[in-house]
Amino acid sequence: MKIATWNVNSVKARIDAVLGWLKEATPDVVGFQEIKCLDEAFPRLEFEALGYNVETFGQKTYNGVAILSRHPIEDVTRGLPGFEDTQSRYIEAVIAPKGGKAIRFCCLYLPNGNPVASEKYPYKLDWMAALQARVEALLPLEESLVVAGDYNVIPTPADVHDPAAWAKDALFLPTTRAAWRRLANLGLTDAIRACNALPGQYTFWDYQAGAWPKNNGIRIDHLMLSPQAADRLASAGIDRHVRSWDKASDHVPAWCTLQ
């Protein structure tokens, strides 16, 4: 099973690129973030034509998440359980292949948190604490759990082109990275890092200041696996070439395959 995550930065604005990548990469399951549309405006028919079942949790203009799957989607949860939120940032479901091994897939768009001096940073940390609580509740089920999405967290200096330039950013503050470690230390495996420990594995390049041509990137899109999912991990990667496409998102897809 090939599982992917991609912050598409407006699904309707990027529809040609998104459909092109789906045809090229053929993931079994993918979580989209920042779909930036209400559920009824999501281009469902285009994805269903490629053989995908679709579940969305949309929001007008901002945020919004979606799950696409070639397999049946069951037990859908919209919104992060136990956390009151006016923003559409979390959708969870069980993906149940006929005759295959099921997974529980959580697709998330974690708050950015900038500017740090505003209410946005406490909101980010509260959201991370609620995500940790959700994962703590799910792990005892001993399922193949994949918690994937745009975390807006740079985990280590190896995940950023210039650590000093990001030192005061909400994505890289020590408090943010400590919250990330608490989540990871529950027993989750970073799929990309488990398969590739080299620096320079980026998933985001800003539109400004020539970040993409200069490869001034950061890695903030992650697939975190429960022990049961990690035992099935066969490969993982980042489709960085998508960033060079016409009308590209500032993020690129990250993916892993489970046996």
**Per-residue model confidence (pLDDT) at position 78:** 98
pLDDT mean over 142-164 = 98
Res 12 pLDDT > 90: yes
Task: Name the catalytic one among 52, 90, 109, 151.
Answer: 109
Active site residue: 150, 169, 190, 221, which one?
150
Q: pLDDT tens digit string along 35-76? A: 999 999 999 999 999 999 999 999 999 999 999 999 999 999
Residue 34 — φ and ψ, nearest 5°? 50, 50
Dump the DSSP string for 174-206.
Answer: HHHHHHHHHHHTTT-EEHHHHH---S---SEE-
Contact 111, 85 (CB under 8 A): no
Q: Is the pLDDT of residue 16 over 90?
A: yes
| Domain count for the chain | 1
Confidence of residue 192 (pLDDT cuts 50, 70, 90): very high
- Across the range 109-127, mean pLDDT stands at 98
CATH number at residue 175: 3.60.10.10
CA 255 from centre of chain: 10
Which burial class, exposed, middle or buried, applies to 114 when counting CB atoms under 10 A from its CB (0-12, 13-18, 19+)?
A: middle
Q: Using omega within 30 degrees of 0 as the cis cutoff, is the peptide bond preceding 115 cis?
A: yes
The mean pLDDT value of the chain amounts to 98
Task: Check residue 155 and give its pLDDT.
Answer: 98
Domain that holds residue 196: 2-258
Percent of the chain with pLDDT over 90: 99
Assess whether pLDDT exceeds 90 at residue 102: yes
Task: Using the predicted structure, report yes or no on whether residue 138 has a pLDDT greater than 90.
Answer: yes
pLDDT higher than threshold 90 for residue 13:
yes
The pLDDT tens digits for 160-185 are 999 999 999 999 999 999 999 999 99
Confidence of residue 209 (pLDDT cuts 50, 70, 90): confident
The question of whether 109 is a catalytic residue gets the answer: yes
With both helix axes pointing from N to C terminus, report the angle between 174-184 and 120-138 in degrees, rounded to the nearest 10. Answer: 10
- Going by the DSSP 8-state scheme, the letter that residue 160 receives in this structure is B
Read off the pTM.
Answer: 0.97
Q: What are phi and psi of 224, to 5 degrees?
A: -105, 130
